[in-house]
Structure 1
């Protein structure tokens, strides 16, 4: 008879073993707790690694679940007296093209190893870890022992690059010829493909997903027609190009290519004008300019620039869910004769005897056959960064892993385009960067880190009071998102708490934010990405889920956040004094953003980084040619977007709204014109 034993009613050891560790040093008596599903699952005292092949079991079928990146992952395992005989894994709620694809592979690994201690799957680490934790729970139930997943050895010196795979000629069963090959279709790929086709080239797009991804809808540009019109009525929106370039060099601490920045400054306006015309001709969309640069009467440390442009549906199309930006772009591509290979992954670039890139070897994701694609004019890589490749992240920017909280929205890119270009000889940026927004939260028993799964917290970028886990204020809360997050990295457990009170709606409007975190219409009437009422409804969901804490007193709030009460109350009292005086003597925040915390109910939440994407990659020149390690162009190979370097370092300049997206589109359009003209 099959035994079905639930996790709740049998083994508590897995969760108990990892449930809590006492916080040491600076946190005094504050207890920091980690759930088995969220952080260091199964790593606590009293647990043992799972051996392979030398355990005895109570025959039956057992199930357990653990938290993946977007859902609970369920593992069901069947045992006889001495072995695991079957493993079934339900990852249907995970991201389809990432964690949602690894169930069968992980089942085979666990069954073959007779253990939960197996290698994960590159690019789907969070889901793989959840599978292993749930498998350990099943083995615990069947064996009667409290067992756990072995802690993986994480080494920054690991060989994340590896070597290009060798594909036998006999295994290449299909050959395709084109002129311009676009690898990857998202923010960069759409613009690149449409432009190359408009220029008369035969274009083929290869995309590893079943459908192309969308574009980010904050598009940064300088000197668009919309911007020029707005400046006529609002001269303060004008942007000095030299000032803009110098500011971007400063953000990157000099680790940038000023000539690349100049390409964006000089060509982004034309790109937005072209895109505006394309969308308006469809009858379904129009473009608006973000008309905000903050409070110029009370300027802060960091200047904002009105670079953001956003597409919006027309009134006629607003209620038609079938109409999207992707459908609009797809229709244009179809009219231009663009060809597609979806569910097809880049395996490696092909080069001739002189090193010229002639095309790629790709693999069809349906029947896994290999395809040679020849590109007579050139290959343009638009494959994104490596945010989902934990091995690359550990090697290149481990500090980002310490700051981030996992959430299902964000990049799904695994660095495959970067690796393929490096196998072909490309040089990598000397420094590494990411785009991070302070929009993720964790439970008050958790801390930030890539093993912690949390929730989206759009409110996090409002410059309210923020305190560390000692209950103390530690920086100016106003400015670029990453300044806040980098300051957080210097604090205990790389985590802080957002603090605000019942007057938060009034204060959020008073902050006069720019960019996507603005919750009210811009001064020129342009709509914000999300309105306050919608965002607050999401906050109420966070209260229900136990993330956002609500209290009638400051003391109660501190207790709910698991931070020292005395320190926190003293911090709030000091902050309120500064607000009353209108001068931030401690950190220099602007007067209009000094808003007191003095009206109940009080709110607090533990916050970390929402990691959108990595921003460093292979070096390119101003023709978007990929450069080798000596700085020489690799003939036939071009790139744009997050797989390229030279534009960002140290900090993403989010006060240039839409810069990353605008850069990617502008460079893609530039490359497409050059390659199509060959």
Structure 2
């Protein structure tokens, strides 16, 4: 947990040198109390600000090899950046997008929204899919324990449906993709503690490109941005923002990451939109902002960007403030071998099956919580357990049981009730499990005693926990932790399977304070003009837990706000 970071706390005092002299000359004279030693080479991070923040780099004018003029500059061509580019271009602006990578990476495809055309068309057949905005907004606030801006949450609720309609028209323009509404809310006859909302939308390939692995959602919307006149510059790394005398952002300093790595100045007369993706790969920021999530994190190889907090730091250097609490989107989709524990630095494997609410035990062989609910509830409970690691246990009936669980969102392994495709089918997941068995992660056994031994669990306690769980399943009631009856099923048919599980880390969710015009705000709540933030650079929307039962909420928020930022920058409305 960290206190708010602001430019005032960052540069507090009459200058670093003066502050160093002050601490050396006065604090050491305060009786026998603690006196901080003056750093040999003081930096702003040594006085009131976190060390990861540092100071904006000083770039010599002689090192700037190129100047580019545009109207709207989008930094980061991903989930938020590409919609921002499209929106700005559609509203008549000259648009340039830059990204330090060579292609768009990990553009998300589960898009959360309320009142899209696709949703509304389903209500006659599936009235349970209808969403009351008030209920959804209040549930998001509940997940965050109130650490949110109501106005931002309501903005998503009010504008996300139109955003999805807009995206639907874009991706269906050439017959290559179709948008599907992921209609599902779970078993309403046996509701659990947490309500699911049918918010998810997902682009799917048509037969026209079914076999084309080079074409997908990211390629479609990026191509449309180009059709609208937006330009791109890849392998171009953002360094910092530039401002005029009034403090308005006028452009950025960037750097080519190939060849001789020259610096360039990009002037953006109408605005700069930062969408650089949070700070998940900045370990210093992670340890400072959310050390608890590092304890359950397993590094699972996968594709994606390399978010280092560059956009967040750039806004803070200009005087912006940041959310008071670190937060992340963590899924229980990573595993380690039986002699390993979860934790930062541990290399494990992708385990998509981990979100299914089977029996889960700690490393003492004890059940410790309700396995059914938001993904990170399970993980947060795990933080309270030995070595922040738990074990998933299932049996030969796992496919039928997974279907009966009636999950929603991206962990669903079977088509949705309205016929929409799920992300990954059960057959593919079974193949993943077999590979994990071959590689020594998932263990397989004919008895629970043997499985416990293979997982390095106490045999007697593990077997007792398993038998008690099956007894409750037979009775139809979880008297320990109150799991829903339809997700409380006996694990009694060999072979038995088990694996040590922890958190797969999707993204950081805390960010810079913004207003509803997407401007970062200073400590007085005043906007920093000329600058807009979207995606995981921005804050005010999530905290404590990610509301994954509103499928695609993070992506929907990012795309809704990216679209809005592009429009506002291009038109000058705010």
Q: Could you tell me which residue of structure 1 aligns to residue 163 of structure 2?
A: 271
Aligned to 2:282: 389
Contact preservation (8 Å) 1:411, 1:613: no
Cα deviation per residue 1:262-309 (whole Å; 9 max; x = unaligned)?
A: 010000000000100111112100001011100000000010000000
Give the alignment partner of residue 406 of structure 1, picking from 299, 303, 327: 299
Q: d(CA) in 1 for partners of 2:161 and 2:218?
A: 22
CA distance in 1, matches of 2:396, 2:221: 44
> Equivalents in 2 of 1:278, 1:542: separation in Å?
39
* Corresponding pairs, count: 523
In the superposition, relative to structure 1, how do residues 592 and 498 fare at CA in structure 2: closer, same or farther (>3 Å)? same
Q: What is the CA–CA distance in structure 1 between the aligned matches of 2:523 and 2:305, rounded to whole Å?
A: 27
Residues 475 and 411 of structure 1, relative CA distance in 2, 3 Å threshold: farther
8 Å Cα contact 1:158/1:391 also seen in 2: no
Q: How does 1:52-451 map to 2 (within 5 A)?
A: 159-366=51-258, 367-409=260-302, 410-451=304-345
Q: Which runs of 5+ in 1 are unaligned?
A: 1-155
Matched with 1:23 is none
1:99-157 superposed Cα distances (whole Å, 9 cap, x missing partner)? xxxxxxxxxxxxxxxxxxxxxxxxxxxxxxxxxxxxxxxxxxxxxxxxxxxxxxxxx99
* CA offset digits 1:439-480 (Å, max 9, x no partner): 000000000001110000000000000000000000000000
**Structure 2-normalised TM-score?**
0.90
For residue 628 of structure 1, report the CA deviation from its aligned partner. Answer: 1.4
Q: Distance in 2 between matches of 1:242 and 1:355?
A: 38
Deviation of the 1:596 alpha carbon: 1.0
Following superposition, the deviation at residue 632 of structure 1 comes to: 1.1
Alpha-carbon distance between aligned partners in 2 of 1:293 and 1:324, rounded to the nearest angstrom: 27
The match for 1:624 is 518
Specify the SS of the correspondent of 1:274. Answer: helix
Alignment partner, residue 644 of structure 1: 538
Q: Residue 667 of structure 1 corresponds to which residue in structure 2? A: 561
SS of 1:204 mapped into structure 2? strand
Corresponding residue for 2:42?
A: none
SS of the residue corresponding to residue 439 of structure 1 reads strand
Q: 1:157 to 1:337 in 2, by over 3 A?
A: closer
Output the aligned Cα RMSD.
1.2
SS in structure 2 at match of 1:610: strand
Alignment partners' CA distance in 1, 2:91 and 2:79: 19
Q: Distance in 2 between matches of 1:467 and 1:157?
A: 41
- The alpha-carbon distance between structure 1 residues 194 and 333, as it changes in their structure 2 partners (threshold 3 A), is same
How far did residue 364 of structure 1 move?
1.1
2:62 alignment partner, SS class: helix
* Cα offsets for 1:517-554 (capped at 9, x unmatched): 00011111111101101101100000000100001111
**What is the distance in 1 between the residues matched to 2:404 and 2:415?**
12
* 418-427 or 463-472: bigger deviation: 418-427
Match of 1:477 among 337, 361, 371: 371
Say whether the 8 Å CA contact 1:214–1:325 is kept in structure 2. Answer: no
Contact 1:178–1:375 at 8 Å: present in 2 too? yes
SS of the residue 2:529 aligns to: strand
Equivalent pair of 2:105/2:305 in contact (CA under 8 Å): no
Q: Could you tell me how far 1:256 is from its partner in structure 2?
A: 0.4
TM-score by length of 1: 0.76
Conserved 8 A contact 2:376-2:546: yes
Does residue 1:493 correspond to 2:374, yes or no? no
After superposition, the C-alpha distances for 1:159-187 in whole angstroms (9 at most, x for unaligned) are 01100000111111211111101000110
Higher strand share: 1
Change (3 A) 1:585 1:238: same
Q: What secondary structure does 2:193 align onto? A: coil
Moved over 6 A (4+): none
Aligned-partner Cα distance in 2 for 1:215–1:593? 32
Q: For 2:426 and 2:180, how far apart are their aligned partners in 1?
A: 20
Gaps of 5+ in 2: 1-47
Q: CA deviation at 1:158?
A: 5.6
Higher relative contact order (CA 8 A, sep 6+): 2
- Alpha-carbon spacing, 1:441–1:343, altered in 2? closer, same or farther (3 Å): same
